[in-house]
A and B are shown apart, each in its own frame.
Chain A
C-alpha cells in the first residue's frame, strides 16, 4: 500500500479542518444561536417579548386610533403570591402614555423575591408595546405578608399593525428568591 507523503499531509489538514468545523458548529449552537434568537425575537416580537429596559418617549402624540388592552396574570409553580391586575382592561389611544397598576401580596411568612415576566399577545404587537416604567425591569423583594401595588407606564406606538384591535399584556410571577440569593452570594 502506498499513501504518498503529500496525500497524508492532505488528509491531516482536512481532518483538522473538519475538527474546526465541528468546534465551529458547537460554538454556533452554544454561543451564537441564543443571542441571535434574542435579536430575532426583539425584531419580530416572537414569544411576545417586550423591551427589558425603559424606553424614553420624547413627545407622545395620540393618533385617535384606539385598541383594547387586556391584562392577564399568572403565578408560576404555585408560588405563594396573590397577584392580579387592578383593572381588567382599558381602552388605549395609540401614541398616548398610560399608567396602570398591578397588586401582589406575599402569602408566606418569609421574605421572597419575585420576578415578573411580561408577554404581549399577539406577538406582532409586542415590539410596539413600549414600557417607560415597569416593575418587571428588576426583581421585587417582598417581606413576609407584604402587599405591594406596582405601576407600569407604557405607550403603544403608532406603528402597531392595522389589523390588531386587541392587545393582551400578561405577567407571570416567578419565585426568584433562590436566583436572587445566588446572585448576592456571587457578588459578595
Chain B
C-alpha cells in the first residue's frame, strides 16, 4: 500500500461536480474526511456499547458476593475484552473520528492530506475487532490475562492467543496510519497565515497525540511480537528458563502504556479548551502555556512508565526517580486545570450540554488527578496497587475524562455535522444522569480499594458487599443513560431539531463556524483568509 497519496486537484474537482457516491460504495471507498469521520464515530459508538455490555456483565456478577452468573474464566475474559475494546475500539477511534471531521475544518483545509490511507486506517478497525471478538467463541475462550497481557499468564491463553496478537497489530497499524495522516494534514494543509501557535487547542493537542501514537504504538507492536515468538518460535524474551525476564514485558508494555494514557486524554483536553471559551464568551486563558503544558505532559509521559509497577521489585533509586517524575506531571496538568478555571473567570457563562459535559470533565477529571497524585507516592502506592483504588482512579480519568470529552465534542459539533440542533432538554438530562451515575459507579471503588479489595476478581469477601452493590447499580444506570445519548443523536441526525445556523453557538471562535450547517460535503476548497490567526484560537 502506498502511504503517500496526496489529494490532488483532480480529486477535488471531481468531487465538486458530483456529491457523495451512492449506497455502500460511499462508505466502502470513502475518501472524504467527513464520511470517514462519521464512520469512525459510529464504529466507536458500537464498540462503546459492546464494551459497556461487558462492563455490565462484570458489574452484575459483582452485585453481590458469591458466584451467580458467570464462571471465573469468563469473568477474566470480560475484564480483558472490556478494556481492550474500550481503549482501542471506543476511546481512540472516537478521537480519530473527531479529528477527521474537525481538523480540516479548523485549519481551513479541503480534506485530510492522505485520503486513501484514511480509508485504510478506518477499515482495518472493524477487521481487527471482528477478529478480537471472534475469540470469544474459540476453544479456550477469549484472552483472559488482562489488557496488559503480562507473560507468562498470557501464554496460557487458548487458541485465541495468535488472534489476540494479530488484532493488536492491526489496531496499531490503524492508529499509526491515522496519526501520520493527522500530522501531515496539520503541518502541510493549514490555511495561509495560520501559524502553528495560532492553531486551535484541539488541533494542537491532536498534533501532540499523533506524535505520541507514532512513537509508542510500534513499541506495543514490538512487545506483542515478542510474545508471539516466545510462544511459537522458541525465543525466550520473557521466559526466565531461557535467560529472559517476564518483568521486561511490563517495562516495554508500560513504555507504551503510559503515553497511551495521554493519547486518550490529550484530545479531550483540546475539546474542553474549545468549548469552555465559547460558553464563557471569553478567549481561552493562556493559549500558549496550554500548548507548552500539553507538550511537557507528552514528554514526561515517556519517563514515568515504571510507576505502574512499583511492586515488581525495583532498585530504590529507580523507585525514587519514577516517583519524582510522576509527581512532576501534576504541574503541567495543574496548569491546564487552572487555565480552564481562569477562562471561566469573569466570563458570561451559559450551560448548554457541551458546556455541562466540559464542566463535568474539569471537576471529575481533577478528582481522578488527585487520586493519581496519591498513587505517585510509592509507599502508599504499594497499598493501592492492583486494588479497586486504581480501578476508581483510571475510570475517573477515562470515563468522566475521555468519554465526557467525547460527549462534549459530539454535542458541540453535532449541529455543524447534522445541520439541526439536538434536543437541549434531553441533552441536559443525559448529562445529569451520566454525571450522577458515573460517581455512583466509581466513587465507592475508592473505598473498596482502600479496604483491601484487589481488582480483577469475580467474587469477594462479604465486607466488600455494600459498596459493590452501589457500584453495580450505578453502572447499570450509566449504561442505560447512554441509550438516551443514542436517541438524541439519532433524532438530531434525522433532522428533528431546529435548523442550525452557521455559527450554531453565540459567537464561537474558529474556522469551522464560518461554513454553513450542515457542513457541505466539500469545505475550504479555496483556503480561507486568515488575517489574525489568534482570533481562531
- Residues of A near any B CB (own CB < 8 A): 1-3, 7-8, 10-12, 14-16, 18-19, 21-31, 33-34, 37, 41, 44-49, 52, 76, 115, 117, 123-124, 172, 174-176, 179, 182
Contact = CB atoms under 8 A, between A and B. Distances in A.
B374 interface: no
B215 A21 contact: yes
A34 B187 CA distance: 34
Given A12-B4, A14-B183, A15-B3, A123 B218 contact: no
Contacts, number: 134
Contacts of A18: 179-180, 183-184, 214
Contact of A124 (B237, B243, B315): B315
A12 B7 CA distance: 11
Interface residue SS majority, chain B: helix
17 contacts: A1-B7, A1-B13, A14-B184, A18-B180, A18-B184, A21-B215, A22-B214, A25-B214, A25-B219, A29-B222, A29-B255, A30-B221, A37-B252, A48-B313, A174-B241, A175-B241, A182-B234
A19 B188 contact: no
A78 to B, nearest CB: 14
Contacts of B223: 29
B215 A25 contact: yes
A46 B315 contact: yes
Interface residue SS majority, chain A: helix
Nearest to A12: B4
A115 B242 CA distance: 8
B491 interface: no
Contact of B219 (A16, A28, A37, A49): A28
B226 interface: yes
Interface residues of B, number: 53
Interface in B195-225: 214-223, 225
A123 B8 contact: no
B6 A8 contact: yes
B225 A3 contact: no
A127 to B, nearest CB: 11
Contacts of B3: 15-16, 19
A90 B525 CA distance: 82
Nearest to A119: B240
B218 A29 contact: yes
B221 to A, nearest CB: 6
